Amino acid sequence: MTRREVAKLIDNTLLKPTATRAEVVRFCEQSLECHFAAVCVFPFWVPLAAEILGESDVKICAPIGFPFGMNATAIKVMEARNVISQGAREIDVVINLGALRSGEESAALRDLEEVVRAVKLSGVTENGDEPITKAILETCYLTDDEKRLACQLAVKAGVGFVKTSTGFGPAGATVDDVRLLRRLVGKEVGVKAAGGIRNWEQAQALINAGATRLGTSCGIQILEQVPGRDPEGL
């Protein structure tokens, strides 16, 4: 893979609560130079990211219901509508883990469905493009049966991706989990691996396992480790 191809698999992420405005500006500028798939920033910084990235090929992603997923559905919906209106084109929403693990499937499904619906209705552009919702499963807390159920609910809700982790749990993405999620959601839904991805060796293993997007705060370092150089000099 070329560096440009790898860059388009990466959501370059800055979810450090102490990050300053100057740090967010530099982060967005560097992400633009690298042509990442997206930048992932807290909702507060979405308007700033939109000023910098404009109509570029780098999308803005914002996490909602983050990092525990236990906000009321109405709050998640409000968060989603807000960030979409400010320029976000991708939403990473944490599923209701408590409902899922309690066997309350209908509640967990309704939570996701309402967010997906709000995102689609809030962000359809003139050319018909819809923003993407990614469901964060936080796989480190789930059994394989619970992962299977979470994927079923996510697909039924109409998400664009399932995502392994927030990066704030006790463990992040693993090759085994990515392989399992890929098998469960099939080819039509993306798999985003996130949490603890710090180098090209890890990234490549996760891509080979079926990840179609990587969430990492080490995007630039990973690109620097990809062998070879693209004609554009990336």
User: Which residues belong to the active site?
Assistant: 92, 163, 192
Burial of 125 (0-12, 13-18, 19+ CB in 10 A): exposed
Residue with tokens 């499904």: 109
Residues in a beta bridge with 134: 92, 161
Burial of residue 223 (number of CB atoms within 10 Å: 0-12, 13-18, 19+):
buried
Q: What is the DSSP string of 79-133?
A: HHHHHHHTT--EEEEE--HHHHHTT-HHHHHHHHHHHHHHHHHHH--TT----EE
What is the number of other CB atoms lying within 10 angstroms of the CB of residue 142?
18
- Both tokens of 210, joined, read 């079926």
Other Cβ atoms less than 10 A from the Cβ of 209: the count is 19
**Are 205 and 223 spatial neighbours (Cβ–Cβ below 8 Å)?**
no
Taking a C-beta distance cutoff of 8 angstroms, is the pair 38, 12 a contact?
A: yes
